[in-house]
Amino acid sequence: MPKRLVEKLKKTPKWIRNKYTLTLVVFFIYMLFFDANDMISLMRLRGELNELEENKRYFKEQIDITRNDLNELLTNDQNLEKFAREKYLMKKENEDIFIIVEK
């Protein structure tokens, strides 16, 4: 080995030159960056999990709203007519429909 490299190795603390310490450092670097379950992948998967949980909450709320609408439609004919006019733009034969779009 070159003389400079040998001198630098002698100046480093003994605990850093220990083979067990070097093995542990290499192991941790491998586990953090190169393993199939590395930290980067775990953080990405945790982000996806949070996003999916938010979607789950949103869809549960939408299901509750839809169930309430269905219950109202099945119990009252006036609500059924109102729903048909608002959502599907249905009309009676002698009526005209004007759609007002709010910006």
Contacts of 72 (CB under 8 A, 6+ apart): 79, 83
pTM for the predicted model, two decimal places: 0.54
Burial of 73 (0-12, 13-18, 19+ CB in 10 A): middle
Contact indicator for 53, 63 with CB cutoff of 8 Å: no
Least-confidence region, from 20-29, 50-59, 71-80, 91-100? 91-100
Query: Binning pLDDT at 50, 70 and 90, where does residue 12 land?
Result: confident
